[in-house]
Amino acid sequence: MTEPTDKTRASRRKFLVGAAGLAAVASRPALADPKNLPPNVADWTHTLGEAVGTHGYGSPSKYEKNVVRRTVSWLTATPESSVSFTPLHELDGIITPNGLCFERHHGGIAEIDPNDYRLMLHGLVDKPLVFTLEDLKRLPRVNRIHFLECAANSGMEWRGAQLNGCQYTHGMVHCVQYTGVPLKLLLEQAGVKANGKWIMAEGGDAAGMNRSIPMAKALDDCLVAYRMNGEMLRPEQGYPVRLVVPGWEGNVWVKWLRRLKVGDQPWYTREETGKYTDLLENGKARKFTFEMDPKSVITSPSPQAPLKRKGFTVISGLAWSGRGKVARVDVSLDGGRNWRTARIDGPVFDKACVRFYAEIEWNGEPLLLQSRAIDDTGYVQPSKNDLRKIRGVNSIYHNNGIQTWSLKADGEVENVEVG
């Protein structure tokens, strides 16, 4: 039940049934122990609880052990160059807990001793610099909440509905608060030469992942970040330092950042030529598709979060845009024929996730659930078919098409497409 085993319909069905079965057991009130129910005094009131300080670093309740990142074993050739997915269907609000942020590594998780950590800044600058972690922490810092989405998020869905669960179809996204130094400040310290138009960011992991970033973006809102949600970055997220490139594809957010080189043109690295480009029908490929277009997904109900009862139901989901703020989210119950405006609740930040809700009365009728994001540039999230008209079906990256969930009379939910 933990992962969709392959792409056939039969096995998807098995996965679904498993997920629905588990949810039903967990929610059935009949399984409650009567001695713990009112008017009795429950077990946990009769004894002292664990001592303060038992858990130096706290963990979630043992009853929440299903709330974990998950991998799909057949998706990648090796576990070092692979991905784990955020359990979006188990979360609410806009902040992803650090331990649940999806991971994408090309050469495993680098283990870096912060004492040995150095960041080089060189190339077309007046004064090449090397920063220690302490140097970076001494500089003026800012706090910013941003989403990070891998360009390959929903990539499996280009040719049709594939994976049964928003964790797998949309779980290569997370949204946290970063603390770091504006990249602009480091560049000013080094003094960028007049012909310095691009920057190459390189990771210190075994993949040595590197990407070219235009100087205008580097000077705009990029951060050299060392904290997420208040604490130091997790090793999986690039400890001790990663690049934050708000609104742009996850691949350019170089982790375990070791080098920044200023140049007069892009480097055309492997990750921006052979990978992270989109092959069109005419055989040409789109290059430097940095910005992540508006996108949304209903996280509940969804295949891993089926409906347990009829009546008042809260539809909930996430929306984001790499172009600015999410201005509105619409929800459809009939596969996109009619739309209603969803309620965005909580803060709305630039290039960050927003949480939306739509409350309905569900009487057990089958529904085709969809959501679409509209950002403050006026961009409306397209249907998958409209996207295919422009981009063909050879793409992997940048699939921001509208997701459809088929809600059945029994409350189960399946990943489908509508014509």
Residue numbers at the binding site for ligand MTE (CB under 6 A): 101-106, 148, 150, 174, 203, 205, 207, 209, 236-237, 250-251, 253-256
**Rounded least distance, CB 370 to Co ion, Å:** 25
For Co ion, the closer CB: 81 or 132: 81
Question: Which residues does residue 320 pair with via DSSP β-bridges, in sequence order?
Answer: 295
**Rounded least distance, CB 115 to ligand MTE, Å:** 20
For ligand MTE, the closer CB: 105 or 170: 105
Window of 101-109, 345-353, 357-365, 410-418 that interacts with Co ion by CB under 5 A: 101-109
> Where does residue 77 rank: exposed (0-12), middle (13-18), buried (19+ CB within 10 A)?
exposed
Rounded to 5 degrees, φ, ψ at 347 are -70, 150
Virtual torsion, Cα 253, 256, 258, 264, nearest 10 deg: -10
Question: CB within 8 A of 196, min separation 6: which ones?
Answer: 123, 124, 125, 215, 262, 263, 264
**Rounded least distance, CB 107 to ligand MTE, Å:** 6
Of the residues 203, 250, 301, 411, which one makes contact with Co ion according to CB under 5 A? 250
**Rounded least distance, CB 363 to ligand MTE, Å:** 40
For Co ion, the closer CB: 211 or 261: 211
**Rounded least distance, CB 250 to Co ion, Å:** 4
Rounded to 5 degrees, φ, ψ at 91 are -115, 160
Q: How many residues bind Co ion (CB under 5 A)?
A: 4
Structure tokens at 116: 């040995």
Cα–Cα dist 209/236, whole Å = 15
Of the residues 12, 70, 89, 104, which one makes contact with Co ion according to CB under 5 A? 104
Spatial contact of 333 and 360, defined as CB atoms under 8 Å apart: yes
Spatial contact of 374 and 137, defined as CB atoms under 8 Å apart: no
Spatial contact of 174 and 103, defined as CB atoms under 8 Å apart: no
Question: Rule CB under 5 A: is residue 207 a binding residue for Co ion?
Answer: no
**Rounded least distance, CB 309 to ligand MTE, Å:** 35
Window of 33-41, 96-104, 133-141, 287-295 that interacts with Co ion by CB under 5 A: 96-104
Query: Residue 227 CB: number of other CB atoms within 10 A?
Result: 17
Cα–Cα dist 220/399, whole Å = 26
- Residue number of the CB atom closest to Co ion: 150
**Rounded least distance, CB 250 to ligand MTE, Å:** 3
- Binding-site partner at residue 258 among Co ion, ligand MTE, none, CB < 5 to 8 Å by type: none
> Contacts from 111-114 at CB under 8 Å and sequence distance 24+?
111/235, 112/204, 112/239, 112/240, 112/256, 114/239, 114/240
For Co ion, the closer CB: 221 or 271: 271
Contact string (CB under 5 A) for Co ion, positions 142-181, x = contact: --------x-------------------------------
- Residue number of the CB atom closest to ligand MTE: 203
| Binding interface with Co ion (CB under 5 A) | 104, 150, 250-251
